[in-house]
């Protein structure tokens, strides 16, 4: 799957907003919403590596913000990555762990 194909697939799944990082915040380019790192969750991501050109690498993040706003954020991967995006993504808190109610974690 290509980068554009992945973005289209995510749009079909409801990730329709296009995000960018500006001034340490995630901004919706279509709707104008602004999010701090603690207001978003990365639902998935796909990394692409250029077959013919190793410099042609990117990563597409599927992000959900407060209020259920869902969209994509695209960055180069590796040497050409955007430091502002990397800083924002690193600041997103990890999701809380989930516990399967069918697993006996206490060992009883």
Per the domain annotation, does 99 fall within a domain?
no
What's the pLDDT at 104? Answer: 63
Report the Cα 9 to chain-centroid distance in Å. Answer: 14
CA angle 67, 70, 74 (to 5 degrees): 140
Per the domain annotation, does 76 fall within a domain?
yes
Per the domain annotation, does 73 fall within a domain?
yes
The model's confidence at residue 2, banded by pLDDT at 50, 70 and 90, is confident
pTM of the model: 0.82
Task: Indicate the helix (H) or strand (E) that contains 7.
Answer: helix 3-12
What's the pLDDT at 90? Answer: 94
Return the C-alpha torsion angle 19, 70, 12, 87, nearest 10: 40
The model's confidence at residue 77, banded by pLDDT at 50, 70 and 90, is confident
Give the pLDDT confidence of 17-34 residue by residue, as tens digits.
Answer: 999 999 999 999 999 999
> What is the residue range of 15's domain?
3-91
- Say yes or no to pLDDT of 67 above 60: yes
What's the pLDDT at 80? Answer: 85
Indicate the number of domains in the chain: 1
- C-alpha–C-alpha distance, residues 13 and 78, integer Å: 27
Per the domain annotation, does 102 fall within a domain?
no
């Amino acid at each position: 799957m290509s980068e554009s194909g992945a973005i289209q697939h995510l749009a079909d799944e409801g990730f329709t907003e296009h995000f960018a990082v500006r001034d340490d915040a995630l901004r919706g380019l279509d709707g104008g919403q602004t999010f701090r790192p603690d207001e978003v969750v990365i639902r998935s991501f796909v990394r692409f590596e250029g077959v013919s050109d190793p410099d042609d690498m990117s990563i597409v993040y599927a992000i959900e913000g407060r209020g259920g706003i869902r969209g994509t954020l695209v960055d180069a991967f590796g040497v050409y990555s955007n430091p502002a995006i990397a800083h924002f993504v690193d600041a997103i808190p990890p999701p809380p762990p989930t516990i399967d109610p069918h697993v006996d974690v206490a060992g009883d």
